[in-house]
Amino acid sequence: MEERSEGRTLILGVGNILLGDEGVGIHAIRELDKRPLPPHVDLIDGGTAGLDLLDLVRGYERVIIIDAVEAGAEPGTVFRFTPDEVASQPQALPLSLHQTEVLKVLELATYLGQPLPPVVIYGIQPKSMDWSTELSSALRASLAKLVDAVLKEISERGE
């Protein structure tokens, strides 16, 4: 895999597009692709990347991951957290198995000595993860809020 230049930011949407709200990360990437972004920001549909996540984030100065987060909150609730915040206060945000897998992959990189860029995770509480390629009405209503939060994250960092 080619090395990316320093100063680049990756926005990575993950999830299973076939399971309704579980695919919100992919839907968010598609929405962000319609917006003007700085030239040093890359969008990637990571799907259900698993361990491939490590290859996807390599070479970036900064990574923003977008995913569904099962936290027992109201459907459409948007969360922002870092892997370190979850590790230091696991009771603060009860996470789904899927989200835990993303965090475990990032933890594995550290264990293997692979340097990781700073990672911020934007999650949204799903309503339905049944077979569907569409988001629930609750998530469709909150998708713009999620996308705006990610755009604000980029703009606040001077990007």
Write out pLDDT tens, residues 38-83.
Answer: 998 999 998 776 666 777 788 898 999 999 988 889 999 999 988 7
Q: Quote the pLDDT of residue 102.
A: 66
The distance in angstroms from the start CA to the end CA of the chain is 25
Determine the 3-state secondary structure of 139 from DSSP. helix
Beta-carbon neighbour count of residue 98 at 10 Å? 19
Q: Quote the pLDDT of residue 98.
A: 47
Higher model confidence: residue 65 or residue 155? 65
Instruction: Inform me whether the pLDDT recorded for 108 exceeds 60.
Output: yes
Q: What is the mean pLDDT of residues 1-27?
A: 82
Distance CA 50, CA 144 (A): 26
Sorting pLDDT into bands at 50, 70 and 90, what band is 146?
very high
Q: Quote the pLDDT of residue 147.
A: 96
Whether the full predicted model's pTM is greater than 0.85, yes or no, is: no
Distance CA 147, CA 31 (A): 7
Q: What is the mean pLDDT of residues 143-151?
A: 96
Higher model confidence: residue 93 or residue 69? 69
Q: Quote the pLDDT of residue 97.
A: 38
CA-to-CA dists, residue 101 to 31, 69, 109, 121, 140, angstroms? 25, 11, 13, 13, 25
Q: What is the phi/psi pair of residue 40, to 5°?
A: -95, 10
For 157, which DSSP code?
A: T
Which residues contact residue 26 at a Cβ distance below 8 angstroms, ignoring those fewer than 6 apart?
13, 14, 15, 17, 45, 47
Domains and CATH numbers, the chain: 9-152 (3.40.50.1450)
For residue 123, list its beta bridge partners: 67, 79
Beta-carbon neighbour count of residue 114 at 10 Å? 13
